[in-house]
Amino acid sequence: MNQNLYNYILGVADNSLILGQRLGSLTGHGPSLETDIACTNISLDLFGQVRSYYQYAAKIAGDKRTEDDIAMLRKEREYVNVLLVEQPNTDFAYTMARQFLFDVYHHLFLTQLEKSKDLTLSAIAKKSIKEVSYHQRFSTDWIKRLGDGTEVSHQKTQEAIDSLWTYTDELFHQTEADKAMVAEGIGVDVTALKETYYKKVDEILNEATLQTPESKWFQKGGKQGIHTEHLGYLLSDLQYMQRTYPNMEW
Amino acid sequence: MSDKKNWPLWEVFVRSKNGLEHRHCGSLHAADEDMALENARDVYTRRSEGVSIWVVESKHITASNPENNGEMFEPAHDKVYRHPTFYDLPDEVKHM
């Protein structure tokens, strides 16, 4: 099997899986019925994308592995999502700040992935980009509302942005698999997205009357499987059913 | 934006496909018209029920009073001749 391609797909898909799980756990707990449904809709969009990626990865693996095995049965160190998406739903400001910081990246990323020489990846990107355009619109809208809202909402959102900022740089790190796939015209050169990303984020934060953090100290490790303490708890929820009742199906 | 308990109520109308009319499908809370439209999209069209959405703040709707139903609607009950049921429609005419 093409190990680089396999690893590359997991690098893309794991972000959506973990963020989808985070949002899904808001089901029934959203701040209002409408935002609760919106967050779980986004979660379902992400899971839909994840299925396509993992099905493709399972096909490349070419053994008995299924999409469910890849999603549910890896150990913590084998997940290669960025640290940003595993951060907890501390409050609604954090949930929206995390979503916003990821959506801006995700949209730029998919726009490039659509040009991939790999037709499956290009097709998944093409389908996902409409969903992600909406996610970005939704989270951007909320950042502006909260930032430019009341004193309390402004303060909470600034705090969320400040605290999550340290995880943004990792979005633009390349793994060995990334480099190999970029060289083959299959993968996206994320380093080339960085400038546009920070410019766009800065514009929206300005509009939201929020300060763009100046800190240059960034966390990394997720892409190498070295995670924050939050991922383990998330995975225990995510994997519970498959671990307790192996091979169970709905 | 004030407390979410103070978010006004909006009525949602969805057109299920081009050529059909917008139909009332429910209501929701939102702080303003943009949020009402996005919420309507998430709450009422997530199973691809629609191609177009209208939202209107509920306070702008003037409703008839059920107490006046007698004078409002009963006079129409015994006037069957107001129904166009006495015509033979050609088979080619659809959607009547």
- Scanning chain A, the segments in alpha helix (DSSP H) are 3-24, 33-61, 67-72, 83-86, 92-113, 119-147, 151-164, 176-183, 194-207, 230-244
ipTM for the predicted complex comes to: 0.74
Indicate the pLDDT class of residue A18, thresholds 50, 70 and 90. Answer: very high
A18–chain B nearest CA distance, Å: 21
Q: Which of A56, A57, A54 minimizes the C-alpha distance to A68?
A: A54
Task: Using an 8 Å CB-CB cutoff, list chain A residues near B5.
Answer: none
Helices then strands, counting H and E runs in chain B, come out as 2, 3
CATH for B4-69, among 3.10.20.520, 3.30.300.210, 3.40.50.150, 3.10.20.30?
A: 3.10.20.520
For chain A, the maximum distance between any two Cα atoms, rounded to a whole number of angstroms, is 56
Distance CA B14, CA B20 (A): 10
Distance CA A52, CA A69 (A): 14
A208 to chain B, any CB pair closer than 8 A? The answer is no
Q: What average pLDDT does range A89-97 have in this prediction? A: 97
Q: Which of B1, B35, B42 sits opposite A37 (nearest CB)?
A: B42
State how many domains chain A has: 1
**A139: closest chain B residue by CA:** B38
**pLDDT tens track for A198-243:** 999 999 999 999 999 999 999 999 999 999 999 999 999 999 999 9
Residue A249 belongs to some domain of the structure: no
Position A225, amino acid: G
User: What pLDDT score was predicted for residue B18?
Assistant: 84
Task: Using an 8 Å CB-CB cutoff, list chain A residues near B42.
Answer: 34, 37-38, 41
A192–chain B nearest CA distance, Å: 32
A142 to chain B, any CB pair closer than 8 A? The answer is no
Specify the DSSP element, H or E, that contains B22. strand B22-29
Q: Which of A32, A141, A149 sits opposite B29 (nearest CB)?
A: A32
State yes or no: pLDDT of B83 exceeds 60: yes
Indicate the pLDDT class of residue B1, thresholds 50, 70 and 90. Answer: very low
**pLDDT tens track for A146-199:** 999 999 999 999 999 999 999 999 999 999 999 999 999 999 999 999 999 999
What is the CATH number for A40? Answer: 1.20.1260.10
Residue B2 or residue B92, greater confidence? B92
Domain span at residue A185 reads 3-244
Size of interface A-B (CB pairs under 8 A): 33
Indicate the pLDDT class of residue B96, thresholds 50, 70 and 90. Answer: low
- First-to-last alpha carbon distance for chain B, in angstroms, is 47
Given a contact cutoff of 8 angstroms between Cβ atoms, the answer to whether A172 and A106 are in contact is no
For all residues of chain A together, what is the average pLDDT?
A: 96
CA distances from A27 to A205, A228, B24 (A): 28, 24, 26
pTM: predicted TM-score of the whole model, two decimal places: 0.88
Q: Which of A77, A69, A75 minimizes the C-alpha distance to A236?
A: A75
The residue of A26, A33, A34 whose CB has the most chain B CBs within 10 angstroms, and thus the best one to mutate to test that interface, is A34
Residue A250 belongs to some domain of the structure: no
> Which stretch, A4-8, A25-29, B13-17, B31-35, has highest mean pLDDT?
A4-8
